[in-house]
Chain A
Amino acid sequence: MINILRVEFFRLIKSKLFWIMLAICFAAPILLSLALVGLVSLIDAIGGTDSNNISYLLHTIGVTPLTLSELPNVSGNIFLLSLISSSVILSKEFTDGTMRNAILANKSRKQLFFAYLIVAIFIGIAYLLTYFISTLIFVLPIFGFNDLPAGDAATGFLCSLALGICAVVFVQTCVIMFLFSVRKQWATVLFPILITRFVPALFSIIVSIITVGEAFQGNTLSEAFISWMPFVNASLFNAAAVNGALVGKILLYYAIFSGVFIVSGYFTFEKADLK
């Protein structure tokens, strides 16, 4: 497996797409900070509103926790970038037929599957960490962390990072499942995008329908109920007020779904005839 990893990391280093996407992940928090600072300056220049109030508002809303609270959400743009990057780079092995070289080199399908999974997760975590570090450098010093004590802020950071890594694993196992079961580039790109975009949206719609139904009966849908709804529960996560039970439920769902993706992708590939 080590040799497959050496090959894939060599390819990754040579891939322009990987570096472009990584640069975007680094630039996104910078652009966010610049846009917000620019907005405050603009309002200040116009003189319509007290810029201190705007600054205070942005500070209170909590730009940093809001940014970090998005990390467990698989519909986030950061996951879209990592999904596209890994699926395009890795599926090239099937479109170029170079996957055969590994099989000819006596590598088992198990080694291939798990080596690719490791590379895909590496790509996702590299993007996530880049985004996370860039947020720490360019967002946190400007907007703060809701004046929370250092311990709470650290918990918020770590939990959002841990959940973000779980979301990466979910997204990348999904990519790998389609890569090894369909073995076509378009499917490896398209289907994970559809799953990460539409499945959470579908669960949100279900929750909305139930909420409306309950409202007609004069009831309110409890947060505890929503916290059990996969994907929707990720939107409840707040990095500034970490709820341990919620974090556990989010982790549980991502672990279950990732496991299903791994098992189905691996066993399909194990039996498949390759071109």
Chain B
Amino acid sequence: MADIMISTKNLCKTYNGKTVVNNVSIEIERGAIVGLVGQNGAGKTTLIRLLTGLVKPTSGTFSLLPSQERRDNDVAAIVERPSIYTNMSAMDNLTIQSKLLGIVVDKEYLKSTVRLVGLDPESNKKVKNYSLGMKQRLAIAMTLVGKPQLLLLDEPTNGLDPQGIFDMREIFVKLNKELGTTLLVSSHILSELSKFATEFYIMDRGSVLTRVTADELQNANGKRIRFKVDNLEAAKETLSQYGKTEAVSANELELYSETPITQAMLSLAQAGITVTNVVQLGDSLEDYYINIVRESRNNKGGTSL
């Protein structure tokens, strides 16, 4: 039987009569990296806030680590903005976190954690003088202090530069691989999320529309290659041998296939077709998300995306 880390049953949250989380029932297994996908106002942040205990559910129930006795350091989270003491140094912040979790203050471990997120543990600079990106890095370091089993992250890469985003992704994957930490990550950057999440929950207007694993997503969308050619009809005929083709403009078409680009290009060249541009369209999560939400809204008769 799977070891469940998060379980919610008909979880609802209503603010002033407006339902922001609507009957959410999900189960997340140990070791998963789950992406929570949805536009602003979809209910992602409120769902994470409910799970962290910051807000009280209007109805429904939830449980974190239901199969075991939860210790203070088992769950960590970043919700919206970094929760850090701004008039203290990074090391002081981590010392406080250790005290709060009731674990021995191991200075060397804390220093290595500060280094891991790319900050200087020897610096006495107060956090209020940090950039947003540095604060976000420190907030991530704070969550790592207790080596949590479950990490809830709401937009964890907010304010980070591309290198920072890459570094954080590496840290999350490392945590998952080495410590078996289960991650629930909400993000607007779907291309980023699709690089490391193993499953996704798609939310819209407070409800979870669907759950999809990374493999299912791959199968559902397949891969697409977009070609810009001088002879659209001839190109369609040539590429049809590899899979479904679809014209997207007067001189562009997309091929839905796992075929390597070089092979498709070779076929086009042999057919005497000039290719002026070629793009591998890999952001299948975004397409999948758009389709699911559009379908849901059409079924409900609401406004489309």
What residue of chain B has the Cβ atom nearest to residue A3's Cβ?
Answer: B102
Q: Which residues of B lie under 8 Å from residue A101 when comparing CB positions?
A: 83, 97, 100, 142
Q: Do residues A92 and B54 form an inter-chain contact, with CB atoms below 8 A?
A: no
Q: Which residues of A lie under 8 Å from residue B77 when comparing CB positions?
A: 100, 104
In Å, the complex CA distance between A245 and B56 comes to 47
Q: Does A241 contact B (CB under 8 A)?
A: no
Name the contact of A106 in the complex, choosing from B71, B85, B88, B92 (C-beta under 8 A): B71
Query: Beta-carbon contacts of B45-69 to A below 8 Å, as 1s and 0s?
Result: 0000100111110000000000000
Q: Does A223 contact B (CB under 8 A)?
A: no
Q: Which residues of B lie under 8 Å from residue A6 when comparing CB positions?
A: 99-100
Within 8 A of A (CB), among B73-119: 73-77, 79, 81-88, 92, 95-97, 99-102
Q: Which residues of A lie under 8 Å from residue B83 when comparing CB positions?
A: 96-101
Q: Does B72 contact A (CB under 8 A)?
A: yes
Q: Do residues B101 and A100 form an inter-chain contact, with CB atoms below 8 A?
A: no
Q: Do residues B54 and A105 form an inter-chain contact, with CB atoms below 8 A?
A: no
- Determine chain A's interface SS by DSSP, over half rule: helix
* Smallest beta-carbon distance B135→chain A, Å: 11
Nearest 5 CB-CB pairings of A with B? A273-B55, A97-B83, A6-B99, A274-B54, A105-B72
In Å, the complex CA distance between A10 and B96 comes to 8
Q: Does B70 contact A (CB under 8 A)?
A: yes
Q: Do residues B73 and A103 form an inter-chain contact, with CB atoms below 8 A?
A: no
Take A14-B92, A96-B84, A98-B85 as given contacts and tell me if A103 and B54 are in contact as well, using a CB distance cutoff of 8 Å. yes
Q: Do residues A274 and B99 form an inter-chain contact, with CB atoms below 8 A?
A: no
* Smallest beta-carbon distance B113→chain A, Å: 15
Within 8 A of A (CB), among B183-228: none
In Å, the complex CA distance between A92 and B126 comes to 15
> Can you report 25 residue pairs joining A to B where beta carbons are below 8 Å apart?
A6-B99, A6-B100, A10-B99, A14-B88, A14-B92, A92-B85, A96-B85, A96-B86, A97-B82, A98-B84, A98-B85, A99-B83, A100-B52, A100-B79, A101-B142, A103-B53, A104-B75, A105-B100, A105-B146, A106-B74, A107-B72, A271-B56, A273-B54, A273-B55, A273-B56
Interface centre among A7, A11, A104, A105 (most CB of B within 10 A): A104
In Å, the complex CA distance between A273 and B92 comes to 28
Take A96-B86, A98-B83, A273-B54 as given contacts and tell me if A105 and B73 are in contact as well, using a CB distance cutoff of 8 Å. yes
Which A positions have Cβ atoms within 8 angstroms of B? Answer: 2-4, 6-7, 10-11, 14, 92, 96-107, 271, 273-275
In Å, the complex CA distance between A101 and B138 comes to 13
Interface centre among A7, A107, A271 (most CB of B within 10 A): A7
Q: Which residues of B lie under 8 Å from residue A274 when comparing CB positions?
A: 54-55
Q: Which residues of A lie under 8 Å from residue B81 when comparing CB positions?
A: 97
* Smallest beta-carbon distance A270→chain B, Å: 9
Q: Which residues of A lie under 8 Å from residue B85 when comparing CB positions?
A: 11, 92, 96, 98
Query: Beta-carbon contacts of B216-260 to A below 8 Å, as 1s and 0s?
Result: 000000000000000000000000000000000000000000000
* Smallest beta-carbon distance B121→chain A, Å: 17
Q: Do residues B100 and A102 form an inter-chain contact, with CB atoms below 8 A?
A: yes
Q: Do residues A11 and B102 form an inter-chain contact, with CB atoms below 8 A?
A: no
Name the contact of A104 in the complex, choosing from B56, B76, B82 (C-beta under 8 A): B76
Q: Do residues B96 and A11 form an inter-chain contact, with CB atoms below 8 A?
A: yes
Take A92-B85, A98-B83, A106-B71 as given contacts and tell me if A3 and B100 are in contact as well, using a CB distance cutoff of 8 Å. yes
Interface centre among A6, A11, A98 (most CB of B within 10 A): A98
Q: Which residues of A lie under 8 Å from residue B56 when comparing CB positions?
A: 271, 273
In Å, the complex CA distance between A107 and B71 comes to 10
In Å, the complex CA distance between A120 and B49 comes to 28
Q: Do residues A7 and B86 form an inter-chain contact, with CB atoms below 8 A?
A: no
Q: Which residues of A lie under 8 Å from residue B97 when comparing CB positions?
A: 101
In Å, the complex CA distance between A7 and B72 comes to 14
In Å, the complex CA distance between A82 and B137 comes to 35
Q: Do residues B99 and A3 form an inter-chain contact, with CB atoms below 8 A?
A: yes
In Å, the complex CA distance between A231 and B82 comes to 43
Q: Which residues of B lie under 8 Å from residue A4 when comparing CB positions?
A: 100
In Å, the complex CA distance between A6 and B105 comes to 12
